Each structure stands twice: as structure tokens, then as C-alpha cells.
Structure 1
Amino acid sequence: MTDDDRLALAARLAREAAAVILAARRAGVTVSAKGDLTPVTEADHAAERLIVSALRAEDPGMPVIAEEEVAAGQVGPLGDSWWLIDPLDGTREFAQGRDEFAVCLGFVRKGRPVLGAVALPASGELFWGRVGHGAWKEDATGRRPISARKPPPEGLTVFASRHHADDPRIARFVAGLPLARLVNAGSALKFCRVAEGAADLYPRFGRTMEWDTAGPQAVVEAAGGSVTTADGAPLAYGKPGFVNPDFVCRGRS
């Protein structure tokens, strides 16, 4: 399977998983807790089953690391390349009835995300991209290429985590910046706004996992932006426990 084939597959599965999640939402959301006390719903499991079964059938032999399988202790060897899947990013928002949740699929090679797709089910938006080859968005108005922007003269639009809105590190990060507005939101939506040129920065302090960021990072970088650790190093993959350090997502410099 070529990377173009994988990108098309990721976009298709993100779209299909979004439909599964919306159907589960209409049926009613029941929330339970995983071993780490983070929430999980049947929508998480249903979307993951759809994505994982399709990836293993259509890209056979390629490792798939998926959030709920990892939570259940199902982790195989990675090899040179692998898929990283968050079937429902923003489960807390989903369970609370908010619209800030996403489906994230990323493909990693030699520790770097090379392609990915992110669906925002509630708004019907789909983002996908391959690093070095461009990024696209599809919504009710159609399909079009997207590009991260350079900081506008009126100042920066910064997105930050809804659940870490009071984190003093965010205030320190934006202090002294030419800030136009600060928006708190959940899920990978924040990456998407940077990728399409609607925002300029998304700093993240605190725990995230590699499946939260692989697909979104690929979309941002395909659109001309960047995702680095807080000290400016590349955000790499295949780390112990799949745990990310603090990072900053940026548009064009």
C-alpha cells in the first residue's frame, strides 16, 4: 500500500467513524471509567472497532496502536512504521454534550507522523494531509486545500485546552505575545484551526498521548505549520508508554 493509498484510507475511515459516533450520540451516551479513571463510551469502542478492523484488513501486517486496545493491554511490536488511532478524541466533551470531539488517525514512519486525517463529527468537517504533499478540508461547502497562516498584523489567535483553561503556564506562555484572542476548546479541533489558518498557536502543557497528536500533527505539518516540544525539538513517536511531553503547535513563521 502506498502512502497516497493510506491517506485516502485514513480520510475514509475518519468519515465513517464520525458517522458511527453521531449515531451512538443519538442513541444516548453512557459513560464508564477506564483503569486510569479517564472516561470511555460505547462510541469510543464502536469507532475503534470500525477503524482497526479496516486497517488490519486493508493494510495487513502494519501495526495498529489504538487507544482502547492499549487501555486493555493489547500492544504489539511497532516496527519501522505504524498506525496510531484515537477513535474519539475529546470523550469528556462528547459525554458532556459539547461538540468539540474528533476522530484521529495518523501514520508514523521512523518516529515521525507522515500522514493523517481528523474528522470533527459534530460540524461535519474532515481534514487530511500528507507531509510534503499538502493538506485539505472537506465540509458542507465542498473540498479545498488548506494552509497554515503567518501571524496576522492584528495579533495572534491562540487556542488552549478547555480543561486546562486555568493553567498558569498558558498565561506565562502568552504574556508578551501580540495576542488578539485566546480560545479554550477541547480535542484535536485546535490543531485543525491552526492547519486551516484560523489560528496561530496551540500550546499544550500537561499529559497527552501519541494517538491524540499523530494524525493532527501530520495535518498541521502538511499544511505548512509545525508541532514541536516546548523546547523546540521535533515531537517524535514511539516513546515509552506513548506519553507526549509538553508541545506547541504553530502556524507558519
Structure 2
Amino acid sequence: MSSLVFSATDLQQITALAKQAGEAILAVYAQSDLHIDVKQDDSPVTAADIASHNVIVVGLQKGFPSIAIMSEEAADIDWNTRKNWQTYWLIDPLDGTKEFIKRNGEFTVNIALIHQGKAIAGVVHAPVLNKCYSGIVGQGAWLDNNGNVTELNISDRAIANPPVVVGSRSHISPDVASYLTQVGEHTMLSVGSSLKFCMVAEGQADVYPRLGLTSEWDTAAAQAVLEAAGGVVVEYPSLTPLRYNQKENILNPYFIAASTAWFDD
């Protein structure tokens, strides 16, 4: 596969891989002991994170052997190496580990293809919900909901009155609270993991303001899905496109994910 071309067939291959990783996660989810450990940054990691990581990495190395891989569970890649990558896979084998531990089903498998700093294709699979979102920027986005596949397109979607805001399941940061005062009257929805982007891509929400810390693997796949569906993800307050692998630090700046109508004057 050329680093500049990503086809619908390639997307199907990645979607199948995400679903396979989801099955590995569910095998752990069904157990009474989730084998929870704590990483150096104090974030939790479970046997499911590792099982999903292994499935995805093996599949990507077999299907796309020339493309580098960066995973949350194997992120210790030297910047001097990584900064030269034009194209690479950016994956979060289990986004929403805290939701996984709570057993609320709001966790996902995230696989993104990054090219020249842009998330150009992505798959977000929620195994408990049996929903799989996928997209290629410029080609389209789709939702496989328990085998029923529909196209996602919010390019012409008007803002709801009052607007619907989606946010973190855990808490609203002070900066988000301040942003919401600018929004004024609104309806607030809460959900875990990268599903917040997907709710915007489905047209269930108008905007997802994330004015708090996230890592690049948390957002890339869902950004690709949302932008493929006609939405946008921009840094805040600059409103410049959110990009990847532009610096040694893998933390994202503040960002706003929304339908394009959100930014219309």
C-alpha cells in the first residue's frame, strides 16, 4: 500500500482487526479478575489492554509491514526516530480503561493512520456496544451497528436549539465550564472514551470541547472518523487543525471537536 493511498479495502482490513481486538478484550471483560496494574503515570492498565495491543500489532505488521506503529502500550519510541515518520499507525488498544474497570461498556479500540501529521483514516470499535465507526477523510465515514451499516454525514447538519454538548463521563474541567458559559443554554451529555467524537459524527451532539489533557492516541482514530463524516477537530483557542507527531511531547493541546456549523458566524 502506498503511504499516500488508503482504500476502502484497507479500511475493511483495519475494521476486522479492531473487531478481533475487541474479542480479545471481551474475553478478559468476562472474567472476575481484570488483572489491573498501575503504570508509571499512575494510569491503570489491564490484561485486556495488553491482549488488544498484541492482536493489533501482529495484524498490522502482517498486513502493512512497511508502516511504523505507535501504541499507548509501546510508546517509548525515541523522538529522533519518530520525528522522521511520514506515515505510521497510532493506536490505543483500549481507550477508556477506567470505563472498562467500571464495566459500563463505554470503552473502545482505536486504530488511526497518520500521514504527514494528519489523521487520514481511523476505526473506533466499541465491543460491548457492538458499534464500529470507521472513516477515510475525503472518502466517507460509516457506522456498523450490530451488522447494520449506515453512512455518517454531518456536513449539512444545523446546530440543535439548544445545542447539545458531549463531555467526559468523569468530570467537567474548570476550563470546559468556562467555555460552556460562552455557549449559554445547552443540553449536556456524558460518555466515556473516544465515543464523544463519535456522538458528534452521528449527529447526536453538536460539539465536544476537550479543554484538558489527552494523549495523541486518545484522539487520532476518532478525529479521522469525525472529519470523514464532515466534522472538524481544531486546537483551542487558535482553531488551527489538530495535528500529530509534531513535537516530542505526545500530549494534545486543548481542542474542540464539532460539526462545521458550530464555527459559522
TM-score (norm 2): 0.90
Measured against aligned partners, the alpha-carbon deviations of 1:128-179 in whole angstroms (never above 9, x if no partner) come to 00001010000126111012263444221111112232x2212211114254
- Of the candidates 77, 101, 104, which is equivalent to residue 107 of structure 2? 101
Q: What is the aligned-residue RMSD (CA, Å)?
A: 1.6
Q: How many residues align?
A: 250
- Distance in 2 between residues matched to 1:174 and 1:151, nearest whole Å: 19
State whether residues 129 and 136 of structure 1, in contact with CA within 8 Å, keep that contact through their aligned partners in structure 2: yes
Where does structure 2 lack aligned partners over 5 or more consecutive residues?
none
Measured against aligned partners, the alpha-carbon deviations of 1:40-78 in whole angstroms (never above 9, x if no partner) come to 0000000000001110111012100011011xx355535
- Of the candidates 46, 50, 59, which is equivalent to residue 55 of structure 2? 50
- Distance in 2 between residues matched to 1:51 and 1:212, nearest whole Å: 16
Structure 2 residue identity aligned to 1:61: S
Structure 1 residue identity aligned to 2:255: F
Q: 1:74 to 1:53 in 2, by over 3 A?
A: farther
- Of the candidates 21, 25, 44, which is equivalent to residue 17 of structure 1? 21
Greater CA drift, 155-164 or 103-112: 155-164
Using the aligned pairs only, state the percent identity.
36
Establish whether residue 8 from structure 1 lines up as the match of residue 12 from structure 2. Answer: yes
- Of the candidates 20, 33, 37, which is equivalent to residue 32 of structure 1? 37
TM-score (norm 1): 0.94
- Of the candidates 219, 226, 235, which is equivalent to residue 229 of structure 1? 235
Measured against aligned partners, the alpha-carbon deviations of 1:56-104 in whole angstroms (never above 9, x if no partner) come to 111012100011011xx35553521000000000001111222111110
Moved over 6 A (4+): none
- Of the candidates 231, 252, 259, which is equivalent to residue 244 of structure 1? 252
Structure 1 residue identity aligned to 2:240: A
- Distance in 2 between residues matched to 1:113 and 1:128, nearest whole Å: 12
5 Å-filtered alignment, 1:186-205, equals 186-205=192-211
Structure 1 residue identity aligned to 2:146: A
State whether residues 160 and 206 of structure 2, in contact with CA within 8 Å, keep that contact through their aligned partners in structure 1: no
State whether residues 223 and 233 of structure 2, in contact with CA within 8 Å, keep that contact through their aligned partners in structure 1: yes
Deviation at 1:18, TM superposition (A): 1.2
- Distance in 2 between residues matched to 1:141 and 1:69, nearest whole Å: 32
Where does structure 1 lack aligned partners over 5 or more consecutive residues?
none
Measured against aligned partners, the alpha-carbon deviations of 1:179-231 in whole angstroms (never above 9, x if no partner) come to 44111221001011011111110011221111111110000000000000012
Structure 2 residue identity aligned to 1:45: I
Structure 1 residue identity aligned to 2:39: K
